Structure 1
Amino acid sequence: MAVYTEVSEEELEAFVAEYDIGEVMAFKGIAEGVSNSNFLLQTDRGAYILTLYETRTKAEDLPFFLGLMEHLAGHGLACPIPVHGRDGLALRQLCGRPAAVVSFLKGMSVRRLTLGHCAALGPAMAGMHLAGAGFGQRRANDLSVSGWRPLFEAERGRADEVIPGLAAFIDAELGALEREWPTALPQGLIHADLFPDNVFFLADRATREEKVSGIIDFYFACTDFLAYDIAICLNAWCFEPDLSFNATKARLMLNGYRKVRPLSPEELEALPLLARGAAMRFLLTRLYDWLNTPAGAFVSRKDPMEYFRKLKFHQGLTGPGAYGIE
């Protein structure tokens, strides 16, 4: 989430009047994330999230994203539900951008990840994958292996501004990933951006254990290998702040996942390669944002070197044992 497009009071009030959600009481931009402009909208009837879809999000994909959220919510997943206007439409226009209002979820994302958070993520992710199985639409992952080289070529000439030799490193690793990327793993609907800031937690009153209370931000969701979603989470959830890998967190996450949806031997064996690919995907998109985010944008830039170091960790693995499983 981020804010690239400002919304005036007059534009907001006219937009909200198209819904039956009450009168605006408060409106505040949300800085986290990098893709769209997001705002917390408080009316006299409750809280909502208003999103303006910026240029990175293709307008033709929006019905897929909104329909997927409605499908997942209808199959028991706690996720934002698109709000339909008085005319029955969920997708509208605001400030020259496609826009939508979705329901607000209770809970909080966490910055200091514990073993309990990783243990809770596994079954929640598997449940999301199973809930998505009946969704009738498909969307190709344009940020998978076939999309990485074009993204790199756009920034090849500036990559060494981050660190000398980065362009050559990426070029060589892309060649290896393109040669070795699997083709026959189980596929389905994946989140593709399941970072800690996209998962909300609430403590269970009886046990005080952290439980996943919601999953948000489905605007990279697509059809791809289910194990690729797991690989993204190995990178996003199982490294410590000093970028050392925590195998206990990985084992708890993976074991929790497997209790809900078993992983095939082929999926397990592919995890190190998938994790390298997931690290490459975020290295490249962070590199692009690092070099191209407009000055003054209300957005938190993220250091691409974090994923350079994670990628190098996965390069040194020969099997899934380093992730805490046999």
Structure 2
Amino acid sequence: MAVYTEVTDDELARLIADYDLGELLSYKGIAEGVENTNFLVHTSEGTYILTLYERRVDTDDLPFFLGLLEHLNQRGISCPLPVRNQAGEVLTSISGRAAAIVTFLEGVWPRRPRTVHCSAVGRALAELHLAGEGFALKRPNALGLEGWHAVYDRFSERANEIAPGLRTLIDYELAFLDRAWPKNLPSGIIHADLFPDNVFFIGDKLSGLIDFYFACNDAWAYDLAICLNAWCFEPDFAFNVTKGRALLAAYQSLRPLNATEREAFPVLARGAALRFLVTRAHDWLHTDPHALVKPHDPNAYVRRLRFHQEVTSPAEYGLEAAA
């Protein structure tokens, strides 16, 4: 179970007493999640999520993340809302960790996304991008192109332990992206990690978005490319153009891509695949085999990257010019 920091009954009861949440009834650790410790907390007033921010999260970023959730909620995005304590603060501490309590969202994430899910997440991503406008705080993308180089430098000599030829592949791709990465695209707040396990559904209706701890300022079309990689490939790693077309059309129904974004999309898709390849490869090589959470297999993104390298037109993703 992904609980890195334990919390005692007495500690949690004292924390809950600082909020207008009634009496603590029960709590349990949440198995899913990689970066932080999460507890499902039941009180006499309702159900909440308590997050303890572990060492990989820079506490200086927490005002951005928590402020963004409040901003998006005010603009109609269904995402967790930080709960303020009786002193009016959203950030607290428990068991030696910075922490926050947020509202609980009903729903389950789709283990095998279908076309209807892809369409819903495309529209939700466009809504998020539009709703993020006007948020006063800024956070650069630490896992942009420069960040990929930095992560790769920490494991490049061991890359071929994961797959033969992986070092050559990544070296080639970084050199290509250094030359080809688009600049000055329309940008704003992006989620940067909108994988299926961060999107909840009730039936076929999207009920909410979670896990904004990679959110930052970057190109909106890059965020869309991350979603395409995460939602539109099958378990055998084949690209499903029907899902791609549904996701992209739903997004463009609210925020049409301009011509520059559209032409840049194959490069953005390659970059999005490389981003998750290098971070997963790093974690694959550096995570303790006895760790609570097993790292994701980076080979899934090797296959995606090789697909994108063969793409010659945005139409191959099902990306048509908006009407």
Deviation at 1:301, TM superposition (A): 2.0
Deviation at 1:12, TM superposition (A): 2.0
Could you tell me which of 256, 260, 266 is aligned with 1:262? 256
Deviation at 1:121, TM superposition (A): 1.2
In structure 1, distance between residues paired with 2:312 and 2:50 = 45
> TM-score, structure 1 length as denominator?
0.95
- Aligned equivalent of 1:115: 115
Determine if the alignment matches structure 1 residue 280 to structure 2 residue 274: yes
Contact 1:105 1:214 in 2 (8 A): yes
In structure 2, distance between residues paired with 1:106 and 1:147 = 34
- Aligned equivalent of 2:187: 187
Higher mean displacement: 135-144 or 164-173: 164-173
In structure 2, distance between residues paired with 1:156 and 1:322 = 32
Q: Secondary structure at the match of 1:111?
A: coil
Superposed CA deviations along residues 94-124 of structure 1, whole A, max 9, x for unmatched, are 1211110100011211101111111111111
Q: Secondary structure at the match of 1:101?
A: strand
- Aligned equivalent of 1:206: none
- Aligned equivalent of 1:248: 242
Determine if the alignment matches structure 1 residue 129 to structure 2 residue 134: no
In structure 1, distance between residues paired with 2:310 and 2:5 = 42
- Aligned equivalent of 1:46: 46
Deviation at 1:53, TM superposition (A): 0.9
- Aligned equivalent of 1:153: 153
- Aligned equivalent of 2:7: 7
- Aligned equivalent of 2:299: 305
Tell me the amino acid that sits aligned with residue 122 of structure 2: G
Tell me the amino acid that sits aligned with residue 49 of structure 1: I
Higher mean displacement: 30-39 or 113-122: 30-39
After superposition, residues 12-91 of structure 1 pair within 5 angstroms as 12-91=12-91
In structure 2, distance between residues paired with 1:94 and 1:321 = 50
Runs of 4+ in 1 over 4 A off after TM superposition: none
**Where do 5+ consecutive residues of structure 1 fail to align?**
204-209
Deviation at 1:295, TM superposition (A): 4.1
After superposition, residues 166-245 of structure 1 pair within 5 angstroms as 166-203=166-203, 210-245=204-239
Q: Secondary structure at the match of 1:133?
A: coil
In structure 2, distance between residues paired with 1:4 and 1:161 = 28
Contact 1:126 1:257 in 2 (8 A): yes
In structure 2, distance between residues paired with 1:26 and 1:158 = 45
- Work out the number of aligned pairs and report it: 320
Contact 1:4 1:297 in 2 (8 A): no
Deviation at 1:155, TM superposition (A): 1.1
Contact 1:177 1:277 in 2 (8 A): yes
Higher mean displacement: 116-125 or 186-195: 116-125
Provide the aligned C-alpha RMSD in A.
Answer: 1.4
**Where do 5+ consecutive residues of structure 2 fail to align?**
none
Deviation at 1:164, TM superposition (A): 2.4
Superposed CA deviations along residues 177-208 of structure 1, whole A, max 9, x for unmatched, are 111111111001000000011111123xxxxx
Change (3 A) 1:84 1:233: same
In structure 2, distance between residues paired with 1:109 and 1:264 = 31
In structure 1, distance between residues paired with 2:48 and 2:289 = 29
